[in-house]
Amino acid sequence: MCFELDSLPPVARISGAAVAHDDLELAAEDGTRYAAFEATPDDRNGVGVVILPDVRGLYRFYEELAMRFAERGYDAVAIDYFGRTAGSAKRGDDFDYPPHVAETTQEGIQADIGAAVQHLRPRTRAIFTVGFCFGGRHTWLAAGGGHGLAGAIGFYGRPGVGRDGSTGPTQQAAGLKAPILALMGGADEGIPVDVVHEFERALEEAGVEHEIAIYDGAPHSFFDRKFEEFADASADAWNRTLAFVEQHSGPKR
């Protein structure tokens, strides 16, 4: 897992922002029903965000992150990955996620992303995916998933060949159809910097618009309020995320 159960996003709450939130059950094209969490601002800016969690699926960190986006005017939906094997009910902190992760597929996750995108589409002019770790990998893959995304933002995702041998965003770069933002830890032991540079070269060769930031000394999962020593990296990553969304959202209606 990327974060401790009591971790929170290193993003300030906006006091007084009018935001509604609710647990959802969405349905993918294959009929799978899965859990999601929606945060909706009263004062919408017309932009939607689909949040893809780490390997543990949907839990408090990502619900809080959806709220932080909504406080800034974005319609946000955080999704779960395990509807096909664990159902759509709320789970406890003792959820044994590894067997369920092993049963996921790129096709299934893209179907779930598609359902979240379609949920947001009627009230937005542009939709982005924002993913972390396992979700970072799949957010970039979503740029080639036919979802009509305005951009795909990934925090410390694995861009190369997966542990299961599946091709990643690096190998699939030619099929990515949306701008890419990658926010990576320079001291991430699981994702060496040379792997990130391979991703960058693949995007360049494929002509995919992209921005890659590597934070020197930052580990995997640095985007955590507990990591005070990486507060500057977290702040920069958040600011880059908002700037990327603003740049690629298109004109306001």
| Res 22: pLDDT | 95
Is there a contact between 72 and 16 (Cβ–Cβ < 8 Å)?
no
pLDDT tens for residues 216-234? 999 999 999 878 889 999 9
For the ranges 12-26, 99-113, 120-134, which has the lowest average pLDDT? 12-26
Indicate the DSSP class of residue 144: T
Cβ atoms of residues 74 and 244 within 8 Å: no
Residue 102 has pLDDT above 80, yes or no: yes
Task: Report whether 215 contacts 231 (CB < 8 A).
Answer: no
List phi, psi (to 5°) of 33.
Answer: -105, 135
Model pLDDT for residues 171-205, shown as the tens digit of each residue = 999 999 999 999 999 999 999 999 999 999 999 99
Sequence letter at residue 74 = Y
Which pair of structure tokens corresponds to residue 44? 């919408």
Say how far apart CA 190 and CA 155 lie, in whole Å: 13
Under 8 Å CB-to-CB from 246, ≥6 apart: which residues?
none
Phi first, then psi: what are they for 210, rounded to 5°? -155, 160
Give per-residue pLDDT as tens, 137-169.
Answer: 999 999 999 999 999 999 999 999 988 889 999
Of 238, 142, 143, 224, nearest to 183 by C-alpha is 238
pLDDT in tens, 62-90: 999 999 999 999 999 999 999 999 999 98
- Tell me the average pLDDT of the chain: 94
Closest CA to 171 of 135, 139, 149, 140: 140
Rounded percentage of the chain residues whose pLDDT exceeds 70: 98
Q: Give dist(CA 13, CA 202) in Å, integer.
A: 37
158 within 8 A of 184, measured Cβ to Cβ: no
pLDDT on residue 253? 63
Confidence category of residue 116, pLDDT binned at 50, 70, 90: very high
Per-residue pLDDT for 99 more than 60? yes
Q: Is the pLDDT of residue 1 over 60?
A: no
Secondary structure letter of residue 243 according to DSSP: H
pLDDT at 90: 86
Contact present, 78 and 53 (Cβ < 8 Å) = yes
8-state DSSP, 12: -
* Percent of the chain at pLDDT exceeding 90: 85
